[in-house]
């Protein structure tokens, strides 16, 4: 995982963004449930700890806070579809909880001893938020909001406290908790990204696997509007023979080399995947059938003209491929397109291999 991927989700792929937000939404829902139960349930503790005058006010504040958090539960189902909803819900949660903290502390303005639960609440909140796999930039924003809220509360309740050592003490503690929160969040983000890559990448070529490709294809079709897109499905010729005659290590080397050539030929606009054993697929957005055929031919020539060296130093071999090409539109049925391109590839094999065939 690269450093910039820890920093901001703008460096994540759109598919991982959705995966992460779905994960955050589930954890967020559990967090809100826990907070609603905890905040309302704490009334029992307050009943024991507080004097009746304080208790009369506090139990209502707790119930109102719990009620205000409740809409976040159904909203968390929408959040998994949209990052903006997720961010808005998170800040709504922070707003409610920090206001609860402010009003709770304000209720002790008469000098009554403040129970530890009220003083420690912002730190407790930071600890709870560490369950969300947020990038560092988002974690810093959350920490900043909590710190400013603590400073604002201090200022509002007791202007002098901003100038004494106790404030420094609180800031130091906030910094420690914030760093711990960001550290745990980044660790979770890393774990999630590693698992995501393991489950969506082919371990040999590092290209995306069939499952992720199908999701990308559905998305690309939705985005294509009235522009055509092209699919190229290709398969290495007589690959079994390469394995049998030169060994599996050589077979693996050929697959890796072809994957590299694919990246070089098609560039960042194309979506490339290993579709099966020695079968690869390419999705080209905004591309007509004629353009797709030309690009498939370029690939075929490139692979043919670059012999692959045996990793054990036992000479080199020439590899060829056969390809099928089909053009799709936003209203095409994907399963039909995949069948057509598969048929075209089969025709290319029947026509003698090492050639490109358009779908009928």
Ligand X SMILES: Nc1nc2c(ncn2[C@@H]2O[C@H](COP(=O)(O)OP(=O)(O)OP(=O)(O)O)[C@@H](O)[C@H]2O)c(=O)[nH]1
Nearer to ligand X, 24 or 344 (CB): 344
For residues 255 to 294, the per-residue mask of contacts with ligand X, x marking binding by CB under 6 A and - elsewhere, is x---------------------xx----------------
Minimum CB–partner distance for residue 254 and ligand X (Å) = 8
Minimum CB–partner distance for residue 200 and ligand X (Å) = 17
Minimum CB–partner distance for residue 248 and ligand X (Å) = 4
Minimum CB–partner distance for residue 238 and ligand X (Å) = 5
- Which structure tokens are listed for 77? 């189902």
Q: Which residue is nearest to ligand X (CB)?
A: 251
Minimum CB–partner distance for residue 266 and ligand X (Å) = 21
Q: Tally the C-alpha atoms within 13 A of residue 258's C-alpha that lie toward its C-beta.
A: 32
Minimum CB–partner distance for residue 319 and ligand X (Å) = 10
By CB under 6 A, what part of segment 202-261 binds ligand X?
Answer: 204, 235-241, 243, 248, 251-252, 255
Which of 197, 215, 330, 349 contacts ligand X by CB under 6 A? 349
Nearer to ligand X, 112 or 204 (CB): 204
Contact between 317 and 250 under an 8 Å Cβ cutoff? The reply is yes
Minimum CB–partner distance for residue 211 and ligand X (Å) = 17
Cα angle value 341/346/349 (rounded, 5°): 130
Nearer to ligand X, 154 or 237 (CB): 237
Contact between 307 and 198 under an 8 Å Cβ cutoff? The reply is no
Minimum CB–partner distance for residue 286 and ligand X (Å) = 30
Contact between 71 and 95 under an 8 Å Cβ cutoff? The reply is no
Q: How many residues in the shown chain lie near ligand X by CB under 6 A? A: 17
Instruction: Provide the CA 105 distance to its chain's centre, in angstroms.
Output: 38
Nearer to ligand X, 55 or 239 (CB): 239
Nearer to ligand X, 243 or 291 (CB): 243
324 interacts with ligand X by CB under 6 A: no
By CB under 6 A, what part of segment 131-170 binds ligand X?
Answer: none
Nearer to ligand X, 238 or 257 (CB): 238
Beta bridge partners of 321: 236
Nearer to ligand X, 105 or 250 (CB): 250
Q: Tally the C-alpha atoms within 13 A of residue 328's C-alpha that lie toward its C-beta.
A: 29
Nearer to ligand X, 13 or 243 (CB): 243
Nearer to ligand X, 148 or 204 (CB): 204
Footprint on this chain of ligand X (rule: CB under 6 A): 204, 235-241, 243, 248, 251-252, 255, 277-278, 349, 353
């Amino acid at each position: 995982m690269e450093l910039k991927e820890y920093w901001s989700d703008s460096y994540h792929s759109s598919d991982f963004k959705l995966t992460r937000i779905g994960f955050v939404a589930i954890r967020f829902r559990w967090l809100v449930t826990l907070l609603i139960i905890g905040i309302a349930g704490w009334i029992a503790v307050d009943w024991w700890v507080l004097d009746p005058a304080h208790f009369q006010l506090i139990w209502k504040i707790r119930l109102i806070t719990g009620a205000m958090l409740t809409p976040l539960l159904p909203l968390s189902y929408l959040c998994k579809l949209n990052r903006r909803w997720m961010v808005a819900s998170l800040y709504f949660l922070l707003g409610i909880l920090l206001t609860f903290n402010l009003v709770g502390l304000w209720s002790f303005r008469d000098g009554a001893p403040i129970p530890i639960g009220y003083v420690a609440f912002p730190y407790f909140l930071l600890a709870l938020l560490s369950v969300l796999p947020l990038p560092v930039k988002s974690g810093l924003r959350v920490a900043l909001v909590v710190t400013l809220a603590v400073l604002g509360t201090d200022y509002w309740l007791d202007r002098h406290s901003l100038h004494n050592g106790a404030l420094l003490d609180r800031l130091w503690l906030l910094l420690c908790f914030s760093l711990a929160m960001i550290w745990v969040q980044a660790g979770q983000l890393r774990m999630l990204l590693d698992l995501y890559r393991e489950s969506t990448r082919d371990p040999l070529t590092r290209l995306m696997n069939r499952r992720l490709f199908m999701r990308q294809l559905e998305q690309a079709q939705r985005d294509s509007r009235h522009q055509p897109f092209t699919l190229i499905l290709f398969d290495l010729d007589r690959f079994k023979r390469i394995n049998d005659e030169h060994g599996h290590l050589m077979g693996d080397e050929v697959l890796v080399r072809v994957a590299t050539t694919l990246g070089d030929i098609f560039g960042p606009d194309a979506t490339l995947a290993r579709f099966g054993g020695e079968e690869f697929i390419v999705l080209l957005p905004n591309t007509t059938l004629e353009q797709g055929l030309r690009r498939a031919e370029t690939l075929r020539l490139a692979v043919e003209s670059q012999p692959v060296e045996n990793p054990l130093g036992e000479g080199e071999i020439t590899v060829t491929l056969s390809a099928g090409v089909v053009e799709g539109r936003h209203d095409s049925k994907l399963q039909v397109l995949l069948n057509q391109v598969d048929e075209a590839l089969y025709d290319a094999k029947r026509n003698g291999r090492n050639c490109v065939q358009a779908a009928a």
